[in-house]
């Protein structure tokens, strides 16, 4: 069973608010209902105090932009005081340079801030990051860098078929040169268009042709494992167990990971890891051990 004292890594949604309208975000799934709320910092702190062996926290959000949390600085101060390493993933288009400069003075050499850049021009960037300004992102990232001497800023570039060539452009090379670190990732396997409330731009947000065949093969393989799990030997390689990590939603409910939260239609988790090991949940099929080996071998992002 899940036990808080065994956990050393958390991912947390602080609110359900976001200034972006990314088409393939879970916020756009038609079977999920986004409910807006914001827990007081004291409530979040009280819950985090129960994780006595916590070493890493990911302020990322399956449904939200973390920097929109009103008490974000108080939370960061608390985590810094506990010497918990903070990883922030952001669209970078919130607040102003003064806010980002202040954040830079709070964070330490243990921490990291990932700014998601999906194109070297505004048109390309907002193909995915709909409603976000590339210029504001770059200005805010510069302010953070100037305020923090530890080089904790990362450019996170998500490769789609639409922006693959742009990655080699001179302008993108100039943008990447500004950042202290570069993190290149692939988009995930494209879901059926029918699951999105608003399918705007979804047709453009495809995995590159090079990886599409690989993802389709892994999808077919994992589905066969799930459908024949009673007669095939299946062994789960659960990331929650392996990393001793869990996901906390904006209401404080705990899930093994954000994928379980999204794919379980927001059902509550019973905390029983044996059910995961017994392959009870279809959403875990991409973490079946042999499927995971295929994805790793082919250099695909785990779903």
CB count in 10 Å sphere of residue 98: 11
- The tens digit of pLDDT for each residue in 214-272 reads 888 989 999 999 998 877 778 999 999 999 999 999 999 999 999 999 887 767 899 99
For the entire predicted model, the pTM comes to 0.94
Neighbouring residues of 16: CB distance < 8 A, sequence distance ≥ 6: 34, 35, 36, 37, 63, 64, 250
| Residue entry with tokens 């926290």 | 57
Cα 193 to its chain centre, rounded Å, is 21
CB count in 10 Å sphere of residue 45: 16
Look up residue 196 and give its DSSP letter: B
- Distance in angstroms (rounded) separating the CA atoms of residues 3 and 66: 26
pLDDT of 20: 95
Cβ-count burial 219-244 (b if 16+ within 10 Å, e if not): eebbeebbeebeeeebebbbbbbeeb
User: How sure is the predictor about 23, in pLDDT bands with cuts at 50, 70 and 90?
Assistant: very high
pLDDT of 303: 55
- The tens digit of pLDDT for each residue in 145-197 reads 999 999 999 999 999 999 999 999 999 999 999 999 999 998 877 778 888 99
- Alpha helices (runs of H) in 148-202, residue ranges in sequence order: 170-178
Helix axes 41-49, 72-81, angle to 10 degrees: 20
pLDDT of 32: 85
- Are 58 and 9 in contact, with CB atoms under 8 Å apart? yes
Residue 301 has pLDDT above 90, yes or no: no
Smallest Cα–Cα separation from 66: which of 114, 28, 33, 2? Answer: 114
Strand order from edge to edge, sheet including 9-12: 181-186, 153-159, 112-116, 85-90, 56-59, 9-12, 245-248, 254-255
CA end-to-end distance (rounded Å), the chain? 24
User: How sure is the predictor about 79, in pLDDT bands with cuts at 50, 70 and 90?
Assistant: very high
- Distance in angstroms (rounded) separating the CA atoms of residues 138 and 164: 20
User: How sure is the predictor about 302, in pLDDT bands with cuts at 50, 70 and 90?
Assistant: low
| Residue entry with tokens 């038609």 | 30
pLDDT of 35: 86
CATH superfamily of the domain spanning 4-208+244-272: Aldolase class I (3.20.20.70)
């Amino acid at each position: 069973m899940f036990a808080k004292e065994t956990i050393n890594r958390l991912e947390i949604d602080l609110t359900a608010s976001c200034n972006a309208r990314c088409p393939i975000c879970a916020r756009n799934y038609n079977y999920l209902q986004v409910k807006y709320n914001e827990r007081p910092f004291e409530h979040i702190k009280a819950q985090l105090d129960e994780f006595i062996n916590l070493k890493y926290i990911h302020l990322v959000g399956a449904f939200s932009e973390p920097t929109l949390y009103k008490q974000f600085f108080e939370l960061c101060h608390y985590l810094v005081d506990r010497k918990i390493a903070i990883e922030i993933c952001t669209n970078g288009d919130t607040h102003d340079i003064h806010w980002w400069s202040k954040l830079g003075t709070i964070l330490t050499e243990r921490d990291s801030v990932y700014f998601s850049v999906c194109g070297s021009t505004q048109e390309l960037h907002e193909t995915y990051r709909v409603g976000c300004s590339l210029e504001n992102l770059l200005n805010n990232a510069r302010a953070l860098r100037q305020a923090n001497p530890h080089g904790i800023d990362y450019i996170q570039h998500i490769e789609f078929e639409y922006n693959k060539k742009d990655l080699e452009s001179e302008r993108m090379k100039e943008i990447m040169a500004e950042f202290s670190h570069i993190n290149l990732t692939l988009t995930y396997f494209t879901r059926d268009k029918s699951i999105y409330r608003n399918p705007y731009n979804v047709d453009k947000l495809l995995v590159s042709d090079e990886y599409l065949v690989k993802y389709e093969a892994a999808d077919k393989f994992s589905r066969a494992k799930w459908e024949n799990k009673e007669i095939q030997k299946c062994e789960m390689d659960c990331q929650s167990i392996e990393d001793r990590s869990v996901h906390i939603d904006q209401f404080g409910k705990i899930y093994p990971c954000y994928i379980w939260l999204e794919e379980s239609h927001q059902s509550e988790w019973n905390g029983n890891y044996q059910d995961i090991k017994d392959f009870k949940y279809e959403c875990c099929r991409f973490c079946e051990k042999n499927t995971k080996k295929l994805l790793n071998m082919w250099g695909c992002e785990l779903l």
